[in-house]
Structure formats: C-alpha cells, structure tokens
A and B are shown apart, each in its own frame.
With several copies, the nearest count.
Chain A
Amino acid sequence: MAKIKGHVTIRTENCKGCDLCVHECPQDSLQLSTALNTSGYPYAVLVNDTCTGCTNCALVCPEAVITVFREGKKKPIAILSHVTENITVDITS
C-alpha cells in the first residue's frame, strides 16, 4: 500500500451533522452518528483507518472542526486503535 496514512480529529460538539465531509471523503472514512450532541445534532466520526489525510473533509467542513494529520516522512507510523463510544439512553419518567 503506497497510500499515505492520515488521520482526522473532529470536535464533535461543534459539528452540525451536515454530512458534507462524509460525502467528500474519497476513502469513505467518515460517518454520521445516530446519537445527538448537546446541540441536538448528529456528528461526524472517523470510522475506519483508510484515511489518507487528503484534507477534503476539512476543506468542506463549514464548522472548521476537522483537523487533519498525515504521516510525516520522518515521523514514526501512527498507531491506530479502535475505541467504541456507546451512548445509552434511559427512559426516565
């Protein structure tokens, strides 16, 4: 794989779930959450490790909440790990 490894971080609290980054990502690396942030919006999350750091998502993100990283020539390879954030909703009455 000659592809450069990349990564994005997303400040999900400021994300408005517009879905534009998801559609713009050539690697299908982004998805919208079904849960909502405190503003009431779903938000974008990075869902796989095929990101190349192409910056497309960041360029179209209206909220400028995406920061893009890329493996530098001299930098060690990034170690990626999966983290699951489950949000559980209780009914209270």
Chain B
Amino acid sequence: MNKEIVIAGFGGQGVLSMGMTFAYAGMVENLEVAWMPSYGPEMRGGTANCVVILSDQKISSPIINEFDTAIILNQPSMEKFESMVKPNGEILFEASTILSPPTRNDIRQYKLPANAAAQSLNNKRIMNMIILGAFTQLNPILHDTSIMTALKKVLPERHHHLLPINEKALHRGKELIYR
C-alpha cells in the first residue's frame, strides 16, 4: 500500500492540520508516513497545501508531483493540482468554492457540499473533518479510532471539547459518500 495525497486550499482553511491528522492516524496504524507542507509566503492570502504519504514501505522521497488523491478546497488549488492527479486517481473537492470542476475524465471526481454540511452542523471549522470522512469512506485504509486518536494529538488541548463534534463530522463525511 502506498497512498500519496495532496490537500490544497488557502491559508486558514486548515489544510495543514487536516494533513497532519492523516499522517498521525497512519502512524497510529504503524504505517510509514510523511507529511510535507507548502510553506512560506505562498501561504499569505494565496494557496496552502500539504502532501501526505501513507505507505507500508520506507518512503524514499516526500516530494512528489503526482498524487493518488487530491483534496481541493478552492479554485486556484484546483487549477494547480488537477493535472497532478495520477490517471485513475481521485479528486475530492468542496462544492461551493469550485466554479469550474475538473475536466479530466481519467479520474474519479467527488464534489462534496462540505461547507454546507458544516454549516448545517453549525460549525464552519469542521468542514475538513467532513472531507476526511469522505476520503476514508472511499479509501478504507485508516480506522476511525486511529483518526480520532490522531485528532487528539493534532488539536491543541484547549480544543479537545470539540472532539465529539469532529467525530460527528467524520461520520457526516462518510455519509456524503455512501448515501
């Protein structure tokens, strides 16, 4: 198993911690993991993204140009990453922010109303968790318990009261797929 994922949006959408949650969960499951953020001034008002690799082999290079999965949270990121998805790969994207959906037809596309779903759960911040849920539904490589363990590590202590709503979001995300 070797899963190469990019998560992209703009700074402030929480793409980095979303990736970290992936990576931590992978580590919990004893996978080899690497997490690589974009960094620096790109992040000022522009795009932010991170790459997560989950693998059962040693990871040679954390810097990759092709991905199995792209999780896309805004239009500029779509423009940047659509072409980098491997044939037969998948793109999960937030529905409301994407004007022009992907045009490739050699990949699977999932248009997720995560923003709306988050608002219906009365918490904008859990949009990420909803998408993470959708991803795990599509790619059953991480157990929910691992993800929640990971989230505990990633979330600062003072936000631990948000764990239940996040768990809810995770399931909400899964539902978006299996419905």
Contact = CB atoms under 8 A, between A and B. Distances in A.
B132 interface: no
Contacts of B113: 89-91
23 contacts: A16-B45, A34-B119, A35-B96, A36-B96, A36-B97, A36-B115, A38-B74, A38-B75, A39-B76, A40-B73, A40-B75, A89-B96, A89-B116, A90-B113, A91-B95, A91-B111, A91-B116, A92-B110, A92-B111, A93-B110, A93-B112, A93-B176, A93-B179
A40 B95 contact: no
B127 to A, nearest CB: 11
Contact of A89 (B9, B76, B95): B95
Interface of A: 16, 34-41, 87, 89-93
Interface of B: 9-10, 13, 45, 73-76, 94-99, 110-113, 115-116, 119, 176-177, 179
A92 B113 CA distance: 8
A51 B11 CA distance: 33
A91 B149 CA distance: 30
A39 B96 contact: no
Given A91-B176, A93-B177, A38 B97 contact: yes
A93 B74 contact: no
Given A40-B73, A40-B74, 11 more contacts: A36-B97, A36-B115, A38-B99, A39-B10, A39-B76, A40-B10, A40-B94, A40-B97, A92-B95, A92-B110, A93-B179
Contacts of B111: 90-93
A93 B116 CA distance: 14
A38 B95 CA distance: 11
A31 to B, nearest CB: 17
A37 B119 CA distance: 17
A72 to B, nearest CB: 36
A27 to B, nearest CB: 28
Nearest to A34: B119
Contacts of B116: 89, 91
B45 A40 contact: no
